[in-house]
Structure 1
Amino acid sequence: MNSTTLNITVVSDELDRKKSLLASIAAQQVFLAASFLVSCLFYAHHSRSKGSKLPLPPGPPGWPVIGNLLKYPDSRRWLTEYLWKFNYGPLVYLNILGKPTVILTTVEATHELLNKRAAKYSGRDLSVMAGDLVSKGYNLIFRQYDAQMRLHQRLNVAGLNPRSAALYDPVLRLESLQLLHDILTESRAQPGSEGDQTPRPADTQTSRPFNPRWYFQRANVGSLHVILYGDRLVKEDPTTAGKMDFLLTCPTLQALQNPPLVDTFPWLKSIPYALSPWKLRAESMFKEEEAYHLRNLRNAVNQPGYNVAKQVADSAKRLNMELSDTEISWVIGTLFLANGDTSPTFITWFLVMMVNYPRVMHKAQQVLDEVVGHDRLPTHDDRSRMPYIDAIIDEVMRYRPVVPSGVDHLSVEEDEYMGYRIPKGTIIVTSQFSLARDKAAFGADAEEFRPERWLERNDLPIIGFGNGRRVCPGRHVAKEILWIMVTRLLWAYEMEAPIDPETKKKKVIDDRDTVPVGIVIGPSPFEAVFTPRGKWVEDIIENDFKNADFDVNRIMEDVARSKGL
């Protein structure tokens, strides 16, 4: 065979290969398009299936087949939910490609259905990619409320109940001191020189403006990491950045942010691998997240002091629960990831509110000066004498919920409420943003940021930690972390927006300017100025930091003794 013939043969083979590839891609696209049409028709028929004679709740009109899909965008959907509340009331019905969906927009409706009737509303809508493929059913957030989930909740209780949360106070004091010192150091640094102690040249604001988000995250996540896994996350440790970055890039979060078609049409999960590339991607994503959780678990069980992961592993073994290391690692890992962005986002919203409402900040600082003074840092022992601090925390959580559209529930049987039918299999959306502005629950000024409302009434509902049987298991620890961080920031710093060098006026930090991280919604990145409230602040922070014992193993050994372990 001469070279010309050989070249022709190679080219011909290459053309055949490309034709085959194109044919395969075309077949896949045709198959998926046909699947989409068949599924739409199925769901449309299913949505008209007979049930109770009661009407469905009111809602916006939809299109044939796709229903309200185009009217319920992913971007800022909580605002859409809030506007619908005025048109349709406490229950807003949607048809999303045939899937019945009910948005709850009032506190009363949410409490009645998700708390009082929790047995009917504790399900979860099927998440094929994040729940089945990427986490293989190990992630509690996506599990149905079954025996395995109840077992996982039981394992978590011992390490996260109110009594245990109070025992972690020495850890929270340490990590909040680290936060204060980090902010002091960053505020003093010259632009472009990390940690430089040289003061800035005299200016209208003597502290350097910077974005504190990383420090908020390190302090909150660091506290949780000690409690769950037994070791600290410090800036100087080269592994810290990777562990914190994983909170924002973990496979489960990626699956939620970029769901494939299979999440809309779950039956596509059964089609062959050749036509479902998401399966190969999901397997790789599962292995990545599994490795992360297992690495944390194995490190935790080898720590000399107490940690929740070690207690869960010991309890599972002692009670013969026959749980694999992988399953145990996901039990703890889910808690870590779920709280890894919500608490830092809350602290960032708190900062926005203090910058925009200095009256509230100064009132809190007056309380702190009266109760704590200028000779020491505040501690949890001061909490009962400073209810206004708790009022600020509750009001920030209400006014700017970090998950404004909530986490969906699913009705596991047909029900009726307010004369309307709620079909079995209905997705239940708890519109936290709408609940927070419910005038029947929070008063005529529910649109305003006013912490005093929490001192005037003792029956206001706390929103932000979930409802019913799916309430956040880490809420007690989270509340303790938030309190110490907020209180010490208020005690130490005057928090304000930086001055615009062009206008010579303070910049505006717009609390309507938001950015999503999965379902968590925080303010868009911004810089703030933290000015120590006096020389006494700097002296106390520097002295306490210099003399602090950062041996968390000793602290956690004391926790173990207090628990009788």
Structure 2
Amino acid sequence: MKLGKQSNTDVFSLNIFGKSILVLNSAQAASELLEKRSAKYSDRDLGTMLTNPALLDWGNSVVGAGYGELWRHYRRMLNNWLNARGVVQFHELQQHQARLLLKRLLKAAEGPKPFHHVRDEFFYAIACNMFQLGYGYCLQSHNDPWYQQATLAVDIFTKAPLISNFLVNAFPVLVYVPDWFPGTGWKRTAKAWKAIKQKALDEPYEWVKLQVAAGTTEHSILSNLLQDHKLVSDLSIEERDKRLKELALIIYGGGTDTSGSLLVSFVAAMTQSPEAQIKAQKELDHVLGPMTLPTFEDKERLPYVRNLIQEVMRLYPAIPAGVPHVCFEDDVYRGYTIPKGTSVAISRDEENYPNPEVFDPDRYLDPNVPLAPGFGWGRRKCPGVYFAEDSAFIFIASMLSVFTFSKKADADGKEIEPVIECGPSALSLELNPFDFKFEPRSERHRQLIIDNAAQSHP
């Protein structure tokens, strides 16, 4: 964004190690290229480390697939269940997991440095949703091996494409350097990561196949597709299995990593913006009553809570620069030539969002202010957007109803300003640990959490 301001433009290009990158600093430019010209800007290039068959061989994943028939088939399968009407069937599951999360957070609130405990609970709660959605599998605990495998696989997926992590993404010719050559430890990393990836793809998938064969399967996207569904009936068994493995893992990975990060960002925002938290709690108390947890039926009656979630997504985008779109044929925009193969990244739009560093949910009261583009643009927009929005609402509204997040105080009672910084290089946002405290809003709220967790059923 700073480079764009210095050059007085909302579109500029960079050349990094010979790779052309187009940076869009406005919603107008993003819309004109990624939506109105989406047929030209819907390709992918996630780097050599991730996609080369000799390395991770992950080029045919749902996220990494090029713009073509494979990608379109993935989208059809996902859209069949994750469209705006289809996700309603999963509301009970999401609400159940939100209630269970509140109870687990009671224990996390007792610790002096709750960041890691809270973060782990957020990601586990979202993961429970996604495993049920994709596989029909109920995670047994934080130590469930399939949960740990899937978490490692997603971490690999977010770190492997970055040039800052692996030079082979800038210089693909390095693939041909012999494994014994000094400085090729990254090749051993690729081999180890590939094995982790394959276990995460194979093991839960084979379990679902056994459940389907035995007639004991739980309702899930995978179990439906495995029962001679028309969306896969034309594929060979080998090709069907390959695609469904990728589909199920991206349901987990795409949902857990981004939604978990959003909940961590919510805590950061509430810790730094207590006035917004108080305003949201007042709305919840007024609309629902002071001792009532929210449900999906309440969503339309809670405009400030919805705007607060939008502002968290705007200020802390789960994938800060977006998963890059790639132009797969030469194009011209505003008189500038955009060569085939150019990657397109997105920054913040200061014109649509004045004072972009300020957390202000009320900015969305202006009908001219667009909602945060937290789920991407054009044909590559996240297919799980409706499920993710529902998860964000029920988890965040539930936490606001019963907990207060705030700054810690030092020995003299002075508030400690939390340091909110991004973590190591990865596609997705990962905040470094920061100081905060949280507690139930009252003893009655504590009991409300306990009672509702005991009564909740998926």
TM-score (norm 1): 0.73
Q: 1:529 aligns with which of 433, 437, 440?
A: 437
Matched, 1:472 2:377: no
Describe the SS at the equivalent of 2:320: coil
Residue equivalent to 2:416: 507
Q: 1:172 Cα deviation (Å)?
A: 0.9
Aligned counterparts of 1:324 and 1:286: Cα–Cα separation in 2: 21
Query: Structure 2 stretches of 5 or more lacking a match?
Result: none
Describe the SS at the equivalent of 2:234: coil
Aligned counterparts of 1:146 and 1:273: Cα–Cα separation in 2: 34
Aligned counterparts of 2:16 and 2:131: Cα–Cα separation in 1: 39
Q: 1:267 Cα deviation (Å)?
A: 4.3
Residue equivalent to 2:2: 83
- The answer (yes or no) to whether the contact 2:419–2:435 under 8 Å persists in 1 is no
Could you tell which deviates more after superposition, 119-128 or 252-261? Answer: 252-261
Matched, 1:490 2:400: yes
Q: 1:209 Cα deviation (Å)?
A: 5.1
Q: 1:373 Cα deviation (Å)?
A: 1.1
Q: 1:344 Cα deviation (Å)?
A: 1.2
- The answer (yes or no) to whether the contact 1:138–1:331 under 8 Å persists in 2 is no
Residue equivalent to 2:314: 398
Q: 1:307 aligns with which of 200, 220, 241?
A: 220
Q: 1:125 aligns with which of 31, 39, 45?
A: 45
Aligned counterparts of 1:360 and 1:98: Cα–Cα separation in 2: 45
Q: After superposition, give the CA deviation of every residue in 1:246-282 in whole Å (9 maximum; x if it has no partner).
A: 25644x3452357544322334546666667766653
Matched, 1:417 2:326: no
**Which structure: greater helix fraction?**
1
Q: 1:457 Cα deviation (Å)?
A: 1.5
Residue equivalent to 2:284: 368
Aligned counterparts of 1:209 and 1:279: Cα–Cα separation in 2: 38
Residue equivalent to 1:265: 171
Q: 1:255 aligns with which of 149, 152, 160?
A: 160
| Structure whose CA Rg is larger | 1
Aligned counterparts of 1:240 and 1:270: Cα–Cα separation in 2: 34
Q: 2:453 aligns with which of 527, 545, 550?
A: 545
Mapping of residues 193-212 of structure 1, within 5 Å: 210-211=114-115, 212=118
Q: 2:13 aligns with which of 65, 68, 93?
A: 93
Q: 1:108 aligns with which of 25, 28, 32?
A: 28
Matched, 1:150 2:60: no
Aligned counterparts of 2:252 and 2:75: Cα–Cα separation in 1: 14
Q: 1:105 Cα deviation (Å)?
A: 1.0
Residue equivalent to 1:294: 202
User: Which amino acid in the other structure matches residue 166 of structure 1?
Assistant: V
Describe the SS at the equivalent of 2:438: strand
Q: 1:175 aligns with which of 94, 97, 109?
A: 97
Mapping of residues 442-461 of structure 1, within 5 Å: 442=353, 444-457=354-367, 460-461=370-371
Mapping of residues 289-368 of structure 1, within 5 Å: 289-301=197-209, 302=211, 304-314=217-227, 315=229, 319-322=233-236, 323-368=239-284
Aligned counterparts of 2:377 and 2:51: Cα–Cα separation in 1: 20
Q: Matched residue pairs, number?
A: 442
- RMSD of the alignment, in Å? 2.5
Q: 1:305 Cα deviation (Å)?
A: 1.8
Residue equivalent to 1:225: 131
- 1:105/1:168 CA distance change after superposition, 3 Å: same
Q: 2:85 aligns with which of 163, 167, 178?
A: 163
Q: 1:286 Cα deviation (Å)?
A: 2.4
- The answer (yes or no) to whether the contact 1:248–1:517 under 8 Å persists in 2 is no
Percent identity, aligned pairs only, is 26
- The answer (yes or no) to whether the contact 1:355–1:496 under 8 Å persists in 2 is yes
- 1:86/1:479 CA distance change after superposition, 3 Å: same
User: Which amino acid in the other structure matches residue 272 of structure 2?
Assistant: N
Q: 1:126 Cα deviation (Å)?
A: 5.6
- The structure whose RCO (Cα within 8 Å, separation 6+) is larger is 2
Q: 1:494 Cα deviation (Å)?
A: 1.3
